[in-house]
């Protein structure tokens, strides 16, 4: 689905990097990534020289590059007959011949895809109010005033967009939020406008949409104005997978106030301002560096909502840079991250610092400013002497105790210093203010990972007619060509019934009574079956039949099967499941 979405949304052929990024949010534990990446790379229209390694090989007459190994072999001969050529063109072991990625032409396909249903595109948004188990309420307002009305009724309600943080807290940390307000469709929170002095970013804007606009702005505006934009683009690249960035919002990440947030140090360093609105429509503005008060605490009253973020353009000779160190490059959880900014002005043929901001994450309960280091930098010339002095001040300014939460104290201390060292080298190269040794250039180069390439080696062991041979299983070709039919591909036959298991909602209880009147009176109802209706034995088990198929007297867990219901599709989705009177033991 991720690749399908990429192909449908791309205006042109996706790059190898985009394909790998789209697949990064999926976990494959059966096929393996090598064949998946290889097959999807066809859509990138790239050259397959690297895959088959033809450029480095000199093929003799009659030799052929085997699609399985990428090496020359004689499985297809130029002197073979037409019949033999057709048979042998399948490659070794009757595999398909290799097709260059640049040979695939989508315009040759005759079967056209269905368009997105216009009814859904034209569908008018409406206010939603859903109720769940345990008193859970989910609201989806379509206006900012609706949000404030709900906040007035439920002061402790949580605002969610992608629900990537609150959902984890409820599911894994056993935190209880009975009322959730989804602000995904509030226009005032989804605005994204480019102004003369900066960008106005609504709090509910998704990260993927933000990146798209940042890239557009970077291409259209002067380079010196977009230094902070480029820093955000690079930092969001390692923020999370595409699927997460498509739903996670800017404001959600800010208000979560995580001490290892990748973006909050950058907002603070880039002089961003947060606009906050209350239920009366009053708007106040606060600097990002003053917004975070403590561990997951922000400057928001119970009746206030983060409306938008204003990101100003950078000025001439102002430089903003992002830094992040994780256990691995693609890990979204940072060990230490940072956002740094400096603005220089020329005085007496020297570059002097007029303003600076050094902010770290992962070193304190909140994103932390190196205020003493900033005071040390302002007014000094940009040179090697400044670097040595700043590192000494920074070492004491950002100090981690030996028992600091998170461990790896020595490593994290070294990261705070190495990030500033890299920042000094990067700014020096940008300004040509200080020569950067060749041995240090690798510290300021952006990381670029080459496209993933893989190969499979296996030894054929001749043990009989099939064992030991890398045979393709019978359904493989149907699956990769899309010809295989699954249950969802089969048309519904006439008078088809749909079935559903009725599951226990109690973890440990006794069945006292059954009320199936609601189900029986619903249109489309066909039947309901209990343990007494099982014609054979109700006891099941993989080795020893010691477990009930349908619970008869007791349930021992949530989700245990209690009965089985058949009905038409309309009744199944439109009516409630019959109730059971369960008594806790």
Query: What single string gives the DSSP state of each residue in 387-410?
Result: HHHHHHHHHHHS---TT-TTS-HH
The sign of the CA dihedral 408, 414, 420, 424 is negative
Helix (H) / strand (E) containing 232: helix 227-237
Q: Taking the model in full, what pTM does it have? A: 0.74
Take residue 188 and report the two structure tokens written for it: 């005032």
Q: How far apart are CA 508 and CA 558, in angstroms?
A: 8
Judged by DSSP in three states, 312 sits in strand
Measured CA to CA, the distance from residue 196 to residue 174 in angstroms comes to: 46
What tokens were used for 338? 């940072």
Q: Which of 338, 319, 304 is nearest to 230 (CA)?
A: 319
Continuous H helices in 365-497: 371-377, 384-397, 409-431, 476-481
Residue labelled with tokens 């394909």 = 19
User: Distance (Å, rounded) from C-alpha 52 to C-alpha 46?
Assistant: 13
Tokens standing for residue 234: 């690079």
Cα–Cα distance, 486 to 147 (Å, whole number): 44
* Residue bearing tokens 């798209």: 212
- For tokens 């040794």, the residue is 437
3-state secondary structure at position 499: strand
Are the beta carbons of 189 and 204 closer than 8 angstroms?
yes
> Residue holding tokens 């209350």?
278
Tens-digit pLDDT string for the chain (585 aa)? 777 788 877 777 888 888 888 887 776 666 677 777 777 777 776 655 544 444 444 556 555 555 444 556 554 444 444 444 434 444 444 444 444 444 445 455 455 566 778 888 888 888 999 988 778 899 999 999 999 999 999 998 999 999 988 888 888 888 889 999 999 999 999 999 999 999 999 999 999 999 999 999 999 999 999 999 999 999 998 888 888 999 999 999 999 999 999 999 999 999 999 999 999 899 999 999 999 999 999 999 988 999 999 999 999 999 999 999 999 887 889 999 999 999 999 988 889 999 999 999 999 999 999 999 999 999 999 998 999 999 999 999 998 988 888 889 999 999 999 999 999 999 998 888 677 788 888 888 887 777 777 777 767 666 666 676 777 788 888 887 778 888 888 888 888 888 888 888 888 889 888 888 888 888 888 888 888 888 888 898 988 998 998 998 899 888 888 877 776 644 333 333 334 444 443
Dihedral, CA of residue 204, residue 232, residue 216 and residue 450, to nearest 10: -120
Going by DSSP bridges, is the β-strand pair 318-326/509-515 parallel, antiparallel, or unpaired? unpaired
């Amino acid at each position: 689905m991720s690749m399908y979405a990429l192909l449908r949304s791309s205006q042109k052929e996706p790059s190898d990097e985009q394909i790998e990024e789209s697949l990064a949010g999926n976990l494959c534990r059966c096929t393996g990534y090598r064949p998946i990446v290889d097959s999807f790379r066809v859509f990138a229209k790239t050259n397959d020289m690297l895959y088959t390694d033809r450029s480095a090989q000199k093929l003799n007459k009659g030799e052929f590059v085997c699609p399985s190994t990428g090496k020359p072999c004689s499985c297809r001969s130029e002197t073979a007959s037409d019949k033999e050529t057709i048979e042998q063109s399948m490659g070794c072991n009757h595999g398909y011949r290799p097709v260059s990625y640049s040979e695939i032409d989508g315009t040759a396909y005759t079967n056209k895809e269905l368009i997105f249903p216009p009814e859904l595109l034209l569908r008018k948004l409406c206010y939603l109010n859903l109720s769940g188990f345990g008193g859970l309420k989910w609201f989806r307002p379509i206006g900012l005033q609706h949000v404030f009305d709900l906040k007035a009724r439920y002061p402790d309600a949580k605002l969610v967009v992608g629900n990537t943080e609150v959902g984890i807290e409820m599911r894994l940390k056993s935190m209880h939020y009975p009322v959730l307000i989804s602000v995904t469709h509030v226009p005032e929170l989804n605005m994204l406008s480019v102004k003369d002095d900066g960008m106005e970013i609504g709090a509910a804007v998704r990260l993927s949409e933000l990146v798209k606009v940042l890239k557009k702005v970077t291409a259209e505006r002067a380079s010196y104005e977009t230094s902070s934009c480029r820093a955000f683009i690079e930092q969001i690249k390692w923020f999370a997978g595409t699927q997460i960035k498509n739903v996670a919002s800017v404001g959600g990440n800010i208000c979560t106030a995580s001490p290892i947030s990748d973006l909050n140090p950058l907002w603070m360093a880039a002089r961003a301002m947060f606009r906050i609105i209350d239920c009366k429509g009053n708007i106040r503005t606060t600097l990002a560096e003053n917004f975070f008060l403590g561990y997951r605490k922000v400057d928001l009253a119970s009746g206030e909502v983060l409306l938008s973020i204003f990101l100003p353009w950078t000025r001439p000779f102002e430089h903003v840079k992002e830094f992040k160190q994780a256990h691995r490059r693609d890990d979204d959880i940072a060990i230490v991250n940072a956002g740094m900014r400096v603005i220089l002005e020329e005085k007496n043929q020297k570059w002097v610092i007029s303003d600076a901001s050094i902010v770290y994450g992962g070193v304190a309960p909140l994103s932390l400013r190196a205020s003493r280091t900033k005071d040390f930098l302002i007014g000094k010339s940009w040179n090697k002497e400044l670097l040595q002095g700043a590192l000494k001040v920074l070492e004491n300014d950002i100090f981690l105790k030996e028992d600091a939460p998170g461990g790896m104290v020595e490593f994290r201390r070294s990261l705070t210093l190495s990030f500033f060292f890299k920042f000094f080298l990067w700014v020096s190269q940008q300004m040509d203010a200080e020569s950067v040794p060749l041995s240090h250039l690798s510290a300021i180069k952006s990381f670029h990972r080459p496209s993933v390439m893989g190969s499979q080696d296996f030894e054929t062991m001749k043990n009989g007619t099939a064992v030991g041979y890398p045979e393709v299983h019978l359904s493989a070709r149907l699956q990769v060509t899309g010809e295989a039919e699954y249950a969802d591909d089969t048309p519904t036959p006439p008078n088809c019934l749909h079935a559903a298991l009725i599951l226990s909602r109690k973890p440990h209880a006794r069945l006292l009574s059954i009320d199936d009147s609601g189900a029986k009176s619903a249109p489309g109802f066909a039947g309901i079956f209990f343990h007494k209706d099982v014609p054979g034995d109700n006891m099941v088990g993989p080795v020893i039949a010691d477990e009930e198929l349908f619970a008869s007297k007791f349930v021992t867990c949530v989700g245990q099967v209690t009965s089985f219901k058949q009905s038409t599709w309309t009744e199944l989705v439109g009516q409630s499941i019959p109730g059971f009177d369960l008594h806790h033991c």
